[in-house]
Amino acid sequence: MHTWLSTLRSGAADLGLALNNEQETLFARYLALLLERNEQINLTAITDTLEVAAKHFVDSLAVETVWQPQPGDRVIDIGSGAGLPGIPLAIRHPAVSFTLNDSTRKKIAFLEETRDALPLPNIHPLWARTEALGRAPEYRGRFTAAFARAVAHLGLLIEYALPLLAVGGVLIAMKGPAGAAEIEQSAPAFRALHGEIARTCSLTVPGAGERLLIVVRSLSPSPPSYPRDSASIKKRPLHLDH
């Protein structure tokens, strides 16, 4: 019988990853809590366990094809929602600190409950608008990596994420194949925020389809005028500022 766990195992193996018993136990707890709380909070439209394993869990682990963390690294998951990709990656890397950022309080409450229930002491749910974090001294320039899964156009992500990164840190934008067009469109954001494309990776995630991972490196500190406030970002997105 094909189960969600065999889907997770085989999908991870296709990515060159192996899960141990402790990690599988944490994934099982996460799955149960996600589907249980999804009945009260809109966390995911995907509720079939096989699809959750493929389209959420394995898809999140695909980040590891372009990201090799070191113990003590600090990463931020922008628009984390139900904790994707942050929680699957935090399960895999307990020595890395994961800040899970979302602007919806109910979703942060779910992430806090998940942290305590699994438990996962290396995740830190944070209720805030991302552009506000980029102007806060305790977060600006503090992270080695930022993840964004189906959050916004690459040009917007650059303005949100690069002020949060230390020099040399990377934004990993998780996109579908159409995301390739966003790279050229985002040239004004690269110039303004001092970033460059470090690499891109096209891959097929088993059960989830074609994915494009775009890795953007911070070359120098972001100018103090960025990120702008929410109204300015919406009124004049950098990727439309040609």
pLDDT digits (tens, 9 = 90+) for 177-218: 989 999 999 999 999 999 999 999 999 998 889 999 999 999
CATH of the domain at 126: 3.40.50.150
Range of the domain at 156: 4-240
Q: How many domains does the chain have?
A: 1
Predicted TM-score (pTM) of this structure: 0.94
More confident residue, 233 or 137: 137
What is the secondary structure of the chain as a DSSP string?
Answer: ---HHHHHHHHHHHTT----HHHHHHHHHHHHHHHHHTTTS---S---HHHIIIIIIIHHHGGGGT----TT-EEEEET-TTTTTHHHHHHH-TTSEEEEEES-HHHHHHHHHHHHHTT-TTEEEEES-HHHHTTSTTTTT-EEEEEEES-S-HHHHHHHHGGGEEEEEEEEEEE-GGGHHHHHHTHHHHHHHTEEEEEEEEEEETTTEEEEEEEEEE-SPPPTT-SPPHHHHHHS-GGG--
Residue 241 pLDDT exceeds 90? no
